Amino acid sequence: VFSGLIVGAMLPYWFSAMLMKSVGIAALAMVEEVRHQFANIHGLLEGTAKADYKRCVEISTTSSLQEMVAPGALVMLTPLVVGCFCGTQCLAGLLAGALVSGVQLAISSSNSGGAWDNAKKFIEAGKDELAQDIGGKGSAAHTAAVIGDTVGDPLKDTSGPALNILIKLMAVESLVLAPFFKEKTGKGGEIFGSFDD
């Protein structure tokens, strides 16, 4: 059970890291396309020509589908591997670890991402005396807030909400397959089965 708890507690962090990396890859592909269009479509910078919006949507859609294969496989295959090789007790530990760790990480990601986003908006608005003292757009504080928002947006829009799916999907898959695991591999599974009484 304890080994399952450790692996389960690690899974949300691994999943979150994969999602953040995927967002970065998709954003970089979009930036490259925008640069390409500005360089090759004459009049785009002046506003006399239209951008190729279809290509940008295509990049976004393709990236979102391709980049979710690995995180999806992580979520779907982990309960199968743990249930088959380590048994139902380890699987229960995996689910408990993923639940506790995932809830904490989801709340933390959503709140901290929202805080970074709001900090940038606060500085840009410049309505408050404190915001004016910090400096408006173009100041060092604004530059730092933009960098923070670059990290904050994927946290609050991708990692935080997606951890809910990780928890639910792993739990439902495990509950559906638990009778199979117990019947075929026993409580201890292939690895820990030799330690059963």
Is the pLDDT at 191 greater than 80? The verdict is: no
Measured CA to CA, the distance from residue 151 to residue 153 in angstroms comes to 6
User: Using 50, 70 and 90 to split pLDDT, how confident is the model at 189?
Assistant: low
* pLDDT tens, position by position, 44-70: 888 888 888 999 999 999 988 998 999
Across 85-110, average pLDDT: 91
What is the reported pTM? 0.80
What are 10-23's pLDDT values in tens digits? Answer: 999 999 999 989 88
pLDDT confidence band for 195 (50 / 70 / 90): low
Q: What is the pLDDT of residue 186?
A: 64
**CA distances (Å), 34 to each of 24, 28, 38, 59, 97, in order?**
15, 10, 6, 11, 42
156: how many CB neighbours lie within 10 A of its CB? 21
Two structure tokens written together for 157: 């829009």
Average pLDDT of the chain, as a whole number: 86
Cα(9)–Cα(83) distance, integer angstroms: 16
> Rounded to whole angstroms, what are the CA distances from 15 to 19, 43, 74, 124, 193?
6, 42, 7, 33, 29
Q: Give the pLDDT of residue 194.
A: 52
pLDDT higher than 60, residue 193: no
